[in-house]
């Protein structure tokens, strides 16, 4: 992993409008990404992971969304770039792998044309060179017959092949940053593994920094260098992947890990996290946002305004509640 910082997010707030009020879906998030690093952002659906991704590349509708804070890329704050400015860097310098490849691809255009589109917009390659590069990309992402696939439409391909095409488009201009938003959600397990291996290979080749957005902790354990655990719009724990899995501290992180089925613990009951993530409108903006889901932990254990504390080198945890946390069936510490 390189030490060169290629992206820095400072105090990012992304708010969505409901009637005349704005509510933060991402609430004061800060992090950085380094060259050749894979940073995983994990958390359950609705916690704000994809909202961060869309904020970085300006995919929100500005009529209903307000973005503040800083997104520093190449020494510039791109947080409130215009659509034209984002078009200059989207695809060329920041590649985006979408969650649903069928929705991301144009059903009316052949695959080859869709890959070449980015090359037309962002490179000086002539027609022949673009065609060569397109076939090379299809080959690179593991498509067996690139020439045939280039002439097919998205509906003629399997889910795994469509996802490979989306990856080929994201990598076509050798970007500095790749954002992969749940890239394997709709795929079966064997194809998932192939896609993830492919991502790692390609990352090593172009030295890109990857932000992987997922709720799959198995994937994170296998691939990530660093992990940020997100809950209700905030990062609650950030650490190196090995450290996070060997020494999880925040009650939410520990609860997530406890709720993963393990083959050697067949008899044990899976942990179920109580309650639900509150809606944006009802989200408590003061105090520990996870407190309602661990009601057996007394109020005095939580901070009034929880912040991230560095509890050991590069290991950050929000709120002091982790110090005395125990699962309900374990009794007190």
- Residue 9: which CATH number? 3.40.50.300
Q: Number of structural domains, the chain?
A: 2
Mean pLDDT check: name the lowest of 80-84, 224-228, 265-269, 325-329. 265-269
Q: Could you give the CA distance from residue 331 to residue 309 in angstroms, rounded to a whole number?
A: 26
**In this predicted structure, what is the pLDDT of residue 333?**
47
Give the C-alpha distances (Å, rounded to integers) separating 275 from 25, 109, 294: 19, 45, 9
Average pLDDT over residues 47-56: 95
Q: Which of 6, 5, 1 is nearest to 175 (CA)?
A: 6
**185 and 254 together in one domain:** no
pLDDT of residue 46: 86
- In this prediction, residue 261 carries a pLDDT of 73
Residues 207, 276: one domain?
A: no
23/140 same-domain check: yes
Contacts with 217 (C-beta within 8 Å, 6 or more apart), sequence order: 42, 256, 257, 260
Report the percent of the chain where pLDDT is more than 70: 96
Whether 193 and 253 map to the same domain: the answer is no
- State the chain's mean pLDDT as an integer: 91
Confidence of residue 215 (pLDDT cuts 50, 70, 90): confident
pLDDT at 1: 56
Give the CA radius of gyration of the chain: 21
Same domain as 301, residue 209: no
From 224, 250, 267, the end of a domain falls on: 224
Encode pLDDT of 103-161 as tens digits.
899 999 999 999 999 999 999 999 999 999 999 999 989 899 999 999 999 999 999 99
3-state secondary structure at position 25: strand
Of 177, 221, 151, 194, residue with least CA distance to 53: 177
Mean pLDDT of 191-207: 85
pLDDT at residue 276 greater than cutoff 90:
no
Domain hosting residue 53, numbered range: 5-224
Residues 58 and 111 in one domain: yes
Contact (Cβ atoms closer than 8 angstroms) between residue 306 and residue 318: yes
Span 178-206, average pLDDT: 85
Position 268 scores a pLDDT of: 62
Name beta bridge partners: 24: 15
> Where on the phi/psi map is residue 160: left (φ > 0), alpha (ψ -120 to 50), or beta?
alpha
Instruction: Please give the C-alpha separations between residue 112 and each of 89, 90, 102, 166, in angstroms, as whole numbers.
Output: 22, 19, 15, 12
Q: Are 245 and 288 found together in one domain?
A: yes
Domain end point (choices 224, 244, 270):
224
Q: How confident is the model at residue 269 (pLDDT cuts 50, 70, 90)?
A: low
178 near 97, Cβ under 8 Å? yes
So what's the pLDDT on residue 190? 83
Q: What percent of the chain has pLDDT over 90?
A: 70
Do 138 and 239 belong together in one domain? no
pLDDT > 90? residue 235: yes
261 with 148, same domain? no
Q: Could you tell me which residue, 102 or 56, shows the higher pLDDT?
A: 56
């Amino acid at each position: 992993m390189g030490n060169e910082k290629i992206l820095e997010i400072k105090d990012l707030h992304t708010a969505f409008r409901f009637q005349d009020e704005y509510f933060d879906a991402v609430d004061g998030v800060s992090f950085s990404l380094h060259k050749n690093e894979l940073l995983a952002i994990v958390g359950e659906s609705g916690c704000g992971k994809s909202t961060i991704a869309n904020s970085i590349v300006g995919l929100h509708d500005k009529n209903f969304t307000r973005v503040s804070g800083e997104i520093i890329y190449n020494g510039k704050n791109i947080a409130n770039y215009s659509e034209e400015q984002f078009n200059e860097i989207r695809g060329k310098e920041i590649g985006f792998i979408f969650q649903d490849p069928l929705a991301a691809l144009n059903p009316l255009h052949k695959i080859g044309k869709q890959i070449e589109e980015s090359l037309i917009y962002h490179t000086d390659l002539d027609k022949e060179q673009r065609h060569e590069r397109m076939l090379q990309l299809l080959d690179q992402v593991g498509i067996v017959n690139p020439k045939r696939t280039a002439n097919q439409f998205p509906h003629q391909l399997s889910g795994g092949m469509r996802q490979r095409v989306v990856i080929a488009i994201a990598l076509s201009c050798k970007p500095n940053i790749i954002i992969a938003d749940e890239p394997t959600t709709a795929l079966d397990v064997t194809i998932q593994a192939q896609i993830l291996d492919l991502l790692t290979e390609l990352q090593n080749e172009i030295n890109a920094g990857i932000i992987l957005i997922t709720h799959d902790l198995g994937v994170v354990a296998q691939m990530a260098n660093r992990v940020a655990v997100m809950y209700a719009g905030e990062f609650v724990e950030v650490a190196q992947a090995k450290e996070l899995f060997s020494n999880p501290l925040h009650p939410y992180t520990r609860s997530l890990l406890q709720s993963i089925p393990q083959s050697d613990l067949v008899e044990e009951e899976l942990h179920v996290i109580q309650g639900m993530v509150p809606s944006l409108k009802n989200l408590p903006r003061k105090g520990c946002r996870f407190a309602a889901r661990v009601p057996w932990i007394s109020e005095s254990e939580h901070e009034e305004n929880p912040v991230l504390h560095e509890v050991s080198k590069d290991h950050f945890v929000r709120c002091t509640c982790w110090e005395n946390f125990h699962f309900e069936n374990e009794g007190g510490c």
